[in-house]
Structure 1
Amino acid sequence: MIRQALQFQFVPYPLWRRKMPAFVRALSRPLLERAYPVQFDQHPPTQAGPLARWLAQHNLLCGESESEARRYLAQQPATVEHSAQSTPPPARGKIRVPAQWEAAEQVLITWPVLYPPLWALHAQMVEGLTPVCAVSILVPAPLWAQAAHLFLRARAKADLSRLRFILLPTDDIWVRDYGPVVGHDEEGETAAVYGLYLTLPNYPQQRDRAAAARWAAHEELPARALNLRTEGGNLWSDGQGTLIMSQQVFHSNPHLSRGEIEERLHEVFIFDKLILLPRLKREETGHIDLLVKLADARTALMTAPTLFYNGSVLRKARWQLEHETNARGERYHVLELPALPPYLNWLGFPIWRSYTNALTINGRVLVPVYGVAQDTAALETYQRAMPGYTVIGIDCKAGVNGGGAVHCLTKEVPQSQKRL
């Protein structure tokens, strides 16, 4: 048995919603209410006073007084767009998924209203993004948009003019996985794809499953369904005909062969080659974005296989990628990122910290860092791999306890080809 360090860190999941025996629910409820705004989950805030008080209790006012916050929230300075529960128009034909280094129009983020320790993380991402693109923040209730706007305004680092707030309730914050895969159809029109999102069977997921189509309808974008159980975190595209996924897709679709999986992907996406790499062991998601990061169509960053834990998987994945070619017949050059030892959070949650879970956006790379010595080497590796980019570290110590980091918490929307 592999030994892992035991830690007791914040868990960014709605644990009070989890399926559990009634007596466990009764015993855990008082404890969960101390760590999470359970009352706001069931009854979203509608008045400035209680929300300002809660923000003060959780140190989310960034120097503002509670009375100042109450007045600001009551004024409701942020415009909130209301998305309707409607169906988007059908997409025409297949869709090409651009690479992340192609021009992007905006990034989607679900604001972590129920997780106070993650507000600073999301603010850092917004602050790193708004100089180069718009950011659409999804919120479950209008007053939460005002609270997020207040928090970002008080930090005074984001370009607030590039923010959009969209009232679009979700079940959780992992927008990479349940959000839309946005690309261009064969006529160059922007369109969205949404798969079968069933990744957390012990939690309610109805709103997450509906989020991609609802967002597409709000944006008046055509969309189509992918008849495959998969998540956005398990898909890389180089925009030139290559898709990379992990073998998690077999675990998620055990009734399908590789040929059948490729057939379903070909029904929706424009691509020539699918590369399937091994999935990490004892890592909750199995997603490719925790295993490899594409710097460009020929360069990949991967965690160094220096740990016993998952070392064999990492060596196998690197060997496979170095002996593969992309759809254009070009071999891959692999650079190594530092390996961080995993730990067990609250006995049962294996946490895999990966520097590959980064977002490339309009000349910037937002890289997760974890407050450890290896952070410096990871950022330097990114700078060598992507010399023309601005590399920005994002503190993900709290967010990674949910199984993901920057890439898992964001979803890029490519620029319309009509504007290029």
Structure 2
Amino acid sequence: MQKIAYLCLSAVLSTSVIGGCSQGKGIEKVQAKEVEKTQSGEVKKVEAQKKVGKYTMPDEKGKHEGTWLQWPHEFTYGKGYQREVEPIWVEMTQALSAGEKVHIVAYDEEEKERILELLTYEGVNMGQIDFFISPTDDVWARDTGPIFVYDQDKNLKILEPGFNGWGKKTPYKKDALLRENLSKQLGVERIDWRKFVLEGGAMELDGNGSALLTRSAVTNKNRNAKLSEKDIETYISELGVTNFIWLDGVPNLEITDFHIDGFAKFYDRSTIITLNKKDLAEWGTPDKDINKLLQAKDAAGNKYKYVYLPLSKNNVTLESGKQLDYKGSYINYYIANGVVLVPNYNDPNDKIANEMIQKLYPDRKVVGIDVRELYKNGGMIHCVTQQQPINLK
């Protein structure tokens, strides 16, 4: 498949398959079995992480203080763009605010007042909403928003890698300054990684010493020309990572150079959520990467278990009736307090994927959100959200 020209402009903290509805039901049975194994403790336990890093990146499933959203505006792509995608932000805010704060980045004070009026009209609990003013270029909070970690004294800090517009493909200067602006407003210290360019959607962690990445989106010379792979691993090892699962990826297939969070993520320390071989190939994943991903081992040398989610049954069709030439992924979901936000495509497999994900997270409510108008521009739910963990002190 020709993956989106912009796939997941924003797709780090820490899934897709199917050629038809009947196949999806078969996959669902396999999925339930894998979940049962995981929940019953039958899955082989991995050893505790031996090396503790300077910083800890909390799992997305952990307790959130809130979620960050960069609100869509008209100043980069016009009012039409804002009008098309803004309903998605309203739906996300409504769902998220039931269980946590929603931190909205507004372009300026005038935009803040407009958003406030809109959300009030939509019946959102405004006691759960707060605003931060910072000019942005776009909406991709996963890649440009604040990445929160704990230091060894349990202080909350913001990790600040460099951002250069996905390998200098876009002149996004405002987004490159966003973490600095927000850290000043929050009074939270930044960890300076600016010499290392890394987008949030380019890396997944299992919380037990392993990282899943693509070279095309991380070691690529359009981002880190002055850093070797070993240099990059030295940075990431500060998060306690000792086991690097490098896929080669595909440079220039789309703007992100093949972010990992569109097609794979960790469910837990022993399980990877991804696509089956057929769908990985349709996603554009090279054969070598497919084999490496499906044979990956954790930091203790144990093979991972796998759970497979479906792609949409059909190529995505927009509300206008225009058909895109690619299918949609459900792996790019976002886990929040009490809910899991899942990208939907007005497709028969939405129901299948939602039910499969619900079984993965029985203590949370799955909320399917129609992302078609966002997807045509390159992103899904995980791409536009960023979690803030609770303060431990």
- TM-score w.r.t. length of structure 2: 0.75
8 Å Cα contact 2:249/2:286 also seen in 1: no
Structure 1 residue corresponding to 2:65, chosen from 105, 116, 119 = 105
Q: How far is 1:154 from its partner?
A: 2.0
**Which residue does the alignment assign to 1:79?**
none
**Which residue does the alignment assign to 1:335?**
307
Matched, 1:138 2:109: no
**Which residue does the alignment assign to 2:28?**
none
Q: How does 1:92-241 map to 2 (within 5 A)?
A: 94-114=54-74, 115-156=82-123, 158-200=124-166, 201-226=168-193, 227-241=195-209
Deviations 1:356-407 (A, max 9, x none): 1111112421111111111111112212333332211111001112211111
Deviations 1:283-319 (A, max 9, x none): 3311111011322222222123335953672765454
Change over 3 Å in CA distance of 1:328–1:217 after alignment to 2: farther
Q: How far is 1:193 from its partner?
A: 0.8
8 Å Cα contact 1:321/1:332 also seen in 2: no
8 Å Cα contact 1:343/1:351 also seen in 2: yes
**Partner SS for 1:116:** helix
**Partner SS for 2:278:** coil
Distance in 1 between the 2:103 and 2:305 partners? 34
Query: Which AA in structure 2 matches 1:129?
Result: L
**Which residue does the alignment assign to 2:260?**
288
8 Å Cα contact 1:369/1:375 also seen in 2: yes
- TM-score w.r.t. length of structure 1: 0.71
**Partner SS for 2:268:** coil
Deviations 1:153-207 (A, max 9, x none): 2222x32210001111111111110112111001111011111111253543221
Change over 3 Å in CA distance of 1:197–1:307 after alignment to 2: same
Q: Which stretch of structure 1 is more off in the superposition, 379-388 or 390-399?
A: 379-388
Q: How far is 1:108 from its partner?
A: 0.7
Unaligned runs of 5+ in 1: 14-92
Identity rate of aligned residues, in percent? 24
**Partner SS for 2:350:** helix
Query: What is the total number of aligned residue pairs between the two structures?
Result: 331
Unaligned runs of 5+ in 2: 10-52, 75-81
Distance in 1 between the 2:286 and 2:343 partners? 19
Higher relative contact order (CA 8 A, sep 6+): 2
Distance in 2 between the 1:357 and 1:380 partners? 15
**Which residue does the alignment assign to 1:56?**
none
8 Å Cα contact 1:179/1:194 also seen in 2: no
If you compute each CA radius of gyration, which structure gives the higher value, 1 or 2?
1
Matched, 1:253 2:220: no
Change over 3 Å in CA distance of 1:175–1:4 after alignment to 2: closer
**Which residue does the alignment assign to 2:366?**
391
**Partner SS for 1:269:** coil
Change over 3 Å in CA distance of 1:397–1:280 after alignment to 2: farther
